[in-house]
Amino acid sequence: MKKIGLFYSFATDKTKRCANKIEESFNSKKFEVVAIDVNETLTEEQFLEFDNIIVGVATWFDGELPFYWDEFVPALEDMDLSKKRIAIFGLGDQVTASENFADAMGILGDLFEERGAKLIGHTATDGYIFEGSEAVRDNKFIGLALDLDNQNKLTNERIEAWVKQLEKEF
Ligand SMILES: Cc1cc2nc3c(=O)[nH]c(=O)nc-3n(C[C@H](O)[C@H](O)[C@H](O)COP(=O)(O)O)c2cc1C
45-88 pLDDT tens trace: 999 999 999 999 999 999 999 999 999 999 999 899 999 999 99
Closest CA to 89 of 44, 66, 47, 59: 59
57 Cα to the center of ligand 1, angstroms: 10
pLDDT digits (tens, 9 = 90+) for 87-137: 999 999 999 999 999 999 999 999 999 999 999 999 999 999 999 999 999
CB burial of 73-104 (b: ≥16 within 10 Å; e: otherwise) equals eeebeebebeebbbbbbbbbbbeebeebbbbb
Whether the CB of 102 sits within 6 Å of ligand 1: yes
2 Cα to the center of ligand 1, angstroms: 32
135 Cα to the center of ligand 1, angstroms: 14
Whether the model pTM is above 0.95: yes
Whether the CB of 93 sits within 6 Å of ligand 1: yes
